[in-house]
């Protein structure tokens, strides 16, 4: 082998073992799940003993109103938590992007909710939502307002509030890091040109931050589709199916109903949905990166 060819292949040869291990660790479980979704599989059988039923599990789910209800709840939950967390997190980052005494302490306090285990978060909010002893109802009664059935009539909203409390700091930290990494020359040029604070935010800061914000929103969107512990502890998916997201329904289908094939098919539906959303957001991210490059180029031309 010629030295030039060997030099080009050397990095790939070093990477090959790690790439093979990662591919096996990723593809084998994924293939196992996909193969299981085509079988009438129960926990008492190995996957090889289960009867092959083709697309029956997918067709059954497609016509299942309970699956549609869980999918609708999942989409509602993901939309509201990601939208509100992005608005609050980015807003806080814009507000606190300045020299403030004790900023390091503020950051530590902001990220504390992220450090708490989801089960503990669920228990904590469940007790605060308690109809008679909960913090919220006791406060409402102290100001003359009647108690609210938080985990009954307003169960989905209550879970959304708990998720926002826990994960808005994640958006805040990443948004603040993106803000502080912006080129100061662009902001200085905008000030010299007479741009107001809102104009700087809308035309300079947000366009330059957008690639980071899109990736941040994608990470939260993926995580929102997989929330399980908090909902399981707070409402167990009730009342009825009002808070049963797909992750919880998949878990119940596999453990309570003992239908591993159907649960695998449901997981694949969720995977396909997430893949579509991921591709769409990466395409949008590409457009925003091109827009940010134009903004940087315009600033450099002004200089």
- pLDDT tens digit string along 257-289? 899 999 999 999 999 999 998 888 888 878 877
pLDDT tens-place values along the chain, 303 residues long: 567 666 777 788 888 888 888 888 888 889 999 999 999 998 888 888 889 999 999 999 999 999 999 999 999 999 999 999 999 999 999 888 777 777 777 777 888 898 899 999 999 999 999 988 899 999 999 888 888 999 988 999 999 999 999 999 999 999 988 888 888 777 787 787 777 878 888 888 888 888 889 889 999 999 999 898 999 999 999 898 899 999 999 999 999 889 999 999 999 999 999 999 888 888 887 887 777 677 667 656 655
- The answer to whether 38 and 53 are in contact (CB under 8 A) is yes
- The answer to whether 213 and 82 are in contact (CB under 8 A) is no
Q: What is the CATH number of the domain that holds 81?
A: 1.10.3720.10
DSSP run (H or E) holding 147: none
Q: Which domain holds residue 235?
A: 65-302
- Assigned domain for 53 exists: no
**CA–CA separation, 230 vs 118, rounded Å?**
6
- The answer to whether 36 and 260 are in contact (CB under 8 A) is yes
**CA–CA separation, 248 vs 95, rounded Å?**
37
- Assigned domain for 33 exists: no
pLDDT, tens digit, for every residue of 233-254? 999 998 988 999 999 999 999 9
- The answer to whether 169 and 185 are in contact (CB under 8 A) is no
- Assigned domain for 160 exists: yes
- Assigned domain for 19 exists: no
- Assigned domain for 260 exists: yes
DSSP 238: -
pLDDT of res. 295: 64
pLDDT of res. 69: 94
- Assigned domain for 100 exists: yes
Please choose, from the candidates 248, 250, 206, the residue with its C-alpha nearest in 3D space to the C-alpha of residue 227: 248
Could you tell me the pTM of the whole model?
Answer: 0.87
Report how many domains make up the chain: 1
- Assigned domain for 119 exists: yes
Rg of the chain over all Cα atoms, to the nearest angstrom: 24
Q: Dihedral of the CA atoms 221, 222, 228, 233 (nearest 10)?
A: -30
């Amino acid at each position: 082998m010629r030295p030039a060819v060997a030099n080009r292949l050397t990095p790939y040869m070093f990477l090959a073992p790690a790439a093979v291990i990662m591919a096996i660790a990723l593809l084998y479980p994924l293939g196992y799940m996909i193969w299981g979704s085509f079988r009438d599989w129960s926990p008492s059988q190995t996957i090889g003993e289960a009867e092959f039923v083709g697309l029956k599990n997918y067709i059954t789910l497609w016509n299942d109103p309970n699956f549609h209800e869980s999918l609708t709840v999942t989409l509602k939950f993901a939309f509201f938590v990601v939208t509100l967390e992005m608005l609050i997190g980015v807003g806080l980052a814009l507000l606190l992007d300045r020299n403030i005494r004790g900023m390091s302490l503020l950051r530590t306090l902001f990220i504390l909710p992220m450090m708490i285990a989801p089960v503990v978060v669920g228990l904590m909010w469940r007790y605060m939502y308690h109809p008679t002893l909960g913090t919220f109802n006791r406060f409402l009664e102290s100001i003359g307002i009647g108690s609210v059935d938080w985990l009954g009539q307003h169960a989905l909203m209550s879970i959304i509030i708990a998720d926002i409390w826990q994960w808005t700091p994640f958006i805040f930290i990443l948004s603040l890091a993106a803000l502080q990494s912006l080129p100061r020359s662009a902001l200085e040029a905008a000030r010299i040109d007479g741009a107001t604070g809102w104009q700087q935010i809308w035309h300079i800061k947000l366009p330059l931050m957008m690639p980071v914000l899109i990736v941040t929103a994608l990470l939260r969107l993926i995580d929102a589709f997989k929330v399980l512990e908090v909902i399981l502890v707070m409402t167990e998916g009730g009342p009825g199916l009002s808070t049963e997201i797909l992750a919880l329904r998949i878990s119940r289908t596999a453990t309570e109903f003992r239908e591993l094939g159907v649960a695998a098919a449901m997981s694949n539906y969720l995977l396909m949905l997430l893949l579509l959303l991921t591709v769409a957001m990466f395409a949008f991210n590409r457009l925003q990166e091109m827009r940010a490059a134009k903004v940087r180029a315009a600033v450099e031309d002004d200089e």
